[in-house]
Amino acid sequence: MLIVLVLILIVLMLLVGGDKTAKSLVTLSFNCFILLCTIFAINMGLNPLISTVISCVVISLITLFYQNDINIKTKVAFISVLIVIAILFLLIFKIVSMSNIQGFPQDQLSIQDSNGYSRNISRNMMYIQISVILMVFIGAIIDTALAVASALYEIHLNNPDLSKEKIFESGIHIGRDILSSTVHTLFFIYIAEYLTLFIQFVDDSTFVQMINSKEFCQEFISIALSGVGCVLIIPITAFLGSWFYKRHKIAPVESELNN
């Protein structure tokens, strides 16, 4: 059944999206392979943080430069993603270490020694949790960065006399429109994925117990930090876009030929 559903998805995507979608499917395959390699690398004993940061950078390179080609827009988006990863890495490390959300939640009853599993995987669980959060937000900030960088490029292309300040303001306005849909997407992903958990909380726990449970905090903090990344990427991309586009003096005719 799973194979049939995957085949149906691929066929529909190719029929609707054509060559561009085919490139997206190849990109998705590469990214899945990178994530799989990251898991095996961590399992072999490599530092989870180093492995995850490297995989996030490689995923960004493939998604931006292979799927969307090498141009000034993808360069701006890539630099913005690197800056946000660097900033949020420190914030995530601090929040995870203070909140103690790492490890397996108590209610994950299937992960028990009596069921043939081991709760002790001989890895630094705080590093693992930081890696999980980094993986959660990397896709969202790549999409947001590319959307803002592309929109700003078109604005500068059609209005080459705009100042850096005006281009930056345009980027912020564009980001606001993107942000509303992105935050809603993250929110509904969280609600849909943990709907049964919320039902269990309603039946068995008080509100105070729910917001203090590891299950709730793990996912809420992950989604919240993803939202922070999506917000932070907007002004950074807008600033870099305004600076790079004005510096390179993009001429309309030349830019159309090059892109």
Token couple for 83: 């800056």
Would you list the DSSP string of 81-115? HHHHHHHHHHHHHHHHHHHT--S--TT-TTSSGGG
The pLDDT tens digits of the residues spanning 237-255 come to 999 998 888 877 654 444 4
pLDDT given at position 102 = 67
* Both structure tokens of 44: 């072999």
Round to whole Å and give the CA distance between 174 and 81: 17
User: Which residue ranges in the chain fall short of pLDDT 50?
Assistant: 114-116, 251-259
CA 156 to chain centre: 27
Instruction: For residue 59, give the nearest of 145, 149, 135 by alpha carbon.
Output: 135
Alpha-carbon distances, residue 60 vs 5, 55, 116 (angstroms):
27, 8, 37
Q: Give the model confidence (pLDDT) of 182-197 as tens digits.
A: 777 777 777 776 677 7
Q: CB-based contacts of 131: which residues, under 8 Å, 6+ apart?
A: 38, 42, 48, 49, 51, 52
- For the chain, what are the domain ranges? 72-101+124-258
Give yes or no for a contact between 110 and 117, defined as CB atoms under 8 angstroms apart: yes
Q: Please say whether the beta carbons of 110 and 232 come within 8 A.
A: no
Give me the pLDDT at residue 116, please. Answer: 46
CB of 77 closer than 8 Å to CB of 149: yes
